[in-house]
Amino acid sequence: MSASLPEDLEEEVRELASKVLKLPKAKVTLEADLFTDLGVDSLLGVEIFAALDKKYGIDVPEGRLRDVHTIKDIARLVRELKK
């Protein structure tokens, strides 16, 4: 049973990333670069995607991860994978 995605998916992804990264939500903007602006390394990246998998039931193919640089990119990927 897959839940439908919320209209404010970007906001939910921001909140989730903010919690995983232990950063204030204000710093985690839709356009902030995950790596250069937010300090995401491979371990934190795995934690973010594990949290997305748990919340939305998606399995992100490893090859798609290199296309993800912002919260907006993550939300776009979640939408694609939930279709």
DSSP assignment of 18-38 equals HHHHT--GGGS-TTS-TTTTT
**Distance linking the first and last C-alpha atoms of the chain:** 13
Structure tokens at 45: 């990246």
* Count of domains observed in the chain: 1
Give pTM, 2 decimals: 0.87
What pLDDT is attached to residue 44?
93
Residue 4 lies in a domain: no
Q: What is the dihedral of CA 45, 47, 49, 55, to 10 degrees?
A: -150
The answer to whether residues 9 and 75 touch, using CB atoms and an 8 Å cutoff, is yes
Question: pLDDT of the chain along its 83 residues, tens only?
Answer: 345 788 899 999 999 999 999 999 999 999 999 999 999 998 999 999 999 999 999 988 888 888 899 999 999 999 999 87
CATH of the domain at 74: 1.10.1200.10
What pLDDT is attached to residue 20?
96
Q: In terms of residue numbers, what domain contains 21? A: 9-82
